[in-house]
Amino acid sequence: MSAQTELAVVPPQETALAVYSTPNGLEPWLQQIRSKIDGFTPDISTRKGREAIASMAYAVARSKTALDDVGKKLVADLKEVPKKIDAERKRVRDTLEAWQEEVRRPLNEWQAAEDARVDKHNDGIEAIKALARFEEPPAAAHVSQVIADLELLALDDSWEEFLPEAAQAKDQTLIALRGLLTKRQKEEAEQAELAQLRAEAEAREQKDREERIAREAAECARIEAEQKAQAEREATLRREQEAKAAAERRELELKLQAEQAERAAAQAKADQVAAEQRAEQERQAAAQRAEQAAEQARIDERRRADAAAAEIVRQQEARERDEAHRRTINRSALEAFVAGGMTEECAKQAITLIAKRQIPNVSIAY
């Protein structure tokens, strides 16, 4: 007889009512199932043993269903005792579900360990493949070191059934890395040659600059000598011109003295005219100052108006910041209410009532 048939036994129909209506009335049937479970010792390391565990767990579940179905039929037939039957049904369900979990636990633990083992090998294979991936072009020396490290990676029985896949990943990664190494060595050689050519070009440019500087220095020295000789010639000419100019100035001074007397009279008349002009200018300046004072008054009034407008804007911004601050605090309170189990609608209503001070002795600190 199978484990399923043995565990699925239910009370006879003629005694079912007495059994289910008695507190713990199904305990003998539960103990019968418990004894089957306690006497069940499968080998988790074998496939047959694991299948036996799954079969036993299923048998417990079937027993739970069979015993529960009898109770459901009694409840349907006998409306006066549903509470007692339902209580016993729940006790049996909970007990058998716990036993089902207990029976299946070794299989679940084995499966978790198996999944972890497979994930470990898959991660190792992915790590091998990742050695050929670089975010930026690597240096040839770095690629060479990665190849050397990968070649030292041991592929032994610790890889279990994943050994062929790991070996293939290693071979493919080495092929990719060696191809990348050849490419990077060629590129770095080309870059080194380009750097050498650039250095030689810079050396030629430096030599050309030095020769040009030497030529320019010689030219400057020649020009400076010519300029010095020219300066001496100009100084001699200047002294001769100054002597001639001194004689001419003396003659002119005598002429000017005569003219000065004539100009003095004209100056007196001019001074009178100038005095009259200054008086007129002062009058015009006074009028201009009056206009400027009026304009300054208008400017001051406009500044006062601008300051008042700025104060209004500042107060508005302060109110907006205060409203934003209150919204932030209200949002934090709302999230706390929701986290505590309230619905969002109830939480919003509660915050609104508190903010309006309609809840005695409760307030929000802003």
pLDDT bucket at 5, cuts 50 / 70 / 90? very low
State in Å, rounded, how far the first CA of the chain is from the last one.
75
Instruction: Quote the CA–CA distance of 263 and 255 in Å, as a whole number.
Output: 12
pLDDT bucket at 249, cuts 50 / 70 / 90? confident
Q: Which of 4, 12, 90 is nearest to 54 (CA)?
A: 4
Instruction: Quote the CA–CA distance of 104 and 91 in Å, as a whole number.
Output: 20
Q: Which of 136, 131, 142 is nearest to 169 (CA)?
A: 131
Q: List all residues 6 or more positions away from 169 whose beta carbon is below 8 Å from its beta carbon.
A: 125, 128, 129
The pLDDT of residue 81: 64
The pLDDT of residue 251: 80
CA distances from 167 to 122, 155, 164, 178 (A): 13, 7, 5, 16
**More confident of the two residues 338 and 79:** 338
- The encoded tokens of residue 330 equal 């209200």
Q: What is the pLDDT of residues 254-267, one digit of tens each?
A: 888 777 877 777 78
Q: Residue range 307-332: average pLDDT?
A: 87
The pLDDT of residue 48: 93
The pLDDT of residue 72: 86
Domain ranges of the chain: 3-123
For residue 98, the number of C-alpha atoms closer than 13 Å in the C-beta half-sphere is 8
Instruction: Quote the CA–CA distance of 120 and 259 in Å, as a whole number.
Output: 119
The pLDDT of residue 53: 92
pLDDT above 70 coverage of the chain, percent: 97
What mean pLDDT value characterizes the chain?
A: 85
The pLDDT of residue 1: 33
Q: What is the pLDDT of residues 28-68, one digit of tens each?
A: 998 998 999 898 898 899 999 999 999 999 989 898 998 88
The pLDDT of residue 3: 40
Q: What is the pLDDT of residues 73-123, one digit of tens each?
A: 887 777 766 777 788 889 999 998 999 898 889 888 888 888 899 999 899
Q: What is the pLDDT of residues 153-196, one digit of tens each?
A: 888 888 888 889 988 998 999 899 898 889 988 988 888 888 88
